[in-house]
Amino acid sequence: MGVAVVLVSGGMDSCVTAAMAVREFEPAFLHVNYGQRTERRELQAFHAIADRYGVGRRMVISLEHLAQIGGSSLTDPALPVSPARLDATGIPTSYVPFRNANLLAAAVSWAEVLGARAVFIGAVEEDSSGYPDCRREFYDAFNVLIERGTKPDARITVHTPVIRMTKELIVRTGIDLGAPLDLTWSCYKNDDIACGQCDSCALRLRAFQRAGVEDPLPYVQRPSYV
């Protein structure tokens, strides 16, 4: 059984991705703080998920420069978190420029030292029409980069098992695999009771509503998004 580095943000998508990874690989969980508003809450979710899966090999790293650089409502207190507009096109204000490249670069560095064969990331195309670094073609390019930028015997590839899934299917898959969705955190705005109104809450609530399952998290309000 090979080793895989799994990027676990503490959200639903990465939790389901982890649930898929642990079936095939010996997991090493990686969490990245980058000055996002709900950093502490996400870290708590990360450790809870790692505990549930009995993952001893975990690393928490800090990419504070993503907040230092700014440009996103996710990390910049001066920019408001927009209410959800699920039908909107274009790049949302929560976009952190080239974020996933920073995350993957760190994950691949660790993977190379560990002798891992895979890096898992829970990127989803559906909820990220406007996030250029969530598209499949981005990960295809990243795999070429890894091949050229690591030792010849490294052979690490990025796995994105939920990238083509709808959020509804991610919920269903998580439930099928017994993923601990109750331990995850998705809200971009609050860290105690989810707001129910930011992009991330709206996408999550809609997914549970479409799947016909009650989201186990507490919400300030649960608008209907279906």
Binding site for a second copy (CB under 8 A): 59, 61-66, 68-71, 91, 96-102, 104-106, 108-110, 112-113, 132-133, 135, 137-138, 141-142, 144-146, 148-152
Q: In angstroms, what is the minimal distance from the CB of 53 to a second copy?
A: 21
Q: In angstroms, what is the minimal distance from the CB of 142 to a second copy?
A: 6
Residue closer to a second copy (CB basis): 95 or 208: 95
**Residues 217, 186: Cα–Cα separation, whole Å:** 10
Pair 130, 89: CB distance under 8 Å: yes
Q: In angstroms, what is the minimal distance from the CB of 138 to a second copy?
A: 5
Q: In angstroms, what is the minimal distance from the CB of 36 to a second copy?
A: 14
Count Cβ atoms below 10 Å from residue 189 Cβ, excluding itself.
20
**Residues 165, 13: Cα–Cα separation, whole Å:** 10
Any residues with CB less than 8 A from the CB of 39 and at least 6 apart, and which? Answer: 33
Q: In angstroms, what is the minimal distance from the CB of 180 to a second copy?
A: 26
Residue closer to a second copy (CB basis): 23 or 151: 151
Give the H or E element holding residue 184.
none
Residue closer to a second copy (CB basis): 142 or 208: 142
Residue closer to a second copy (CB basis): 65 or 164: 65
Q: In angstroms, what is the minimal distance from the CB of 157 to a second copy?
A: 14
Q: Which two tokens stand for residue 116?
A: 């891992």
Pair 7, 152: CB distance under 8 Å: no
Q: In angstroms, what is the minimal distance from the CB of 14 to a second copy?
A: 18
Would you give the DSSP letter of residue 80?
A: P
Name the E strands within 34-175: 58-62, 118-120, 157-159
Residue closer to a second copy (CB basis): 156 or 171: 156
Q: Which residue in this structure is represented by tokens 């895979």?
A: 118
Residue closer to a second copy (CB basis): 145 or 220: 145
Q: What share of the chain is helix, strand, coil (3-state, %, to 5)?
A: 40, 10, 45
**Residues 181, 164: Cα–Cα separation, whole Å:** 19
Residue closer to a second copy (CB basis): 24 or 71: 71
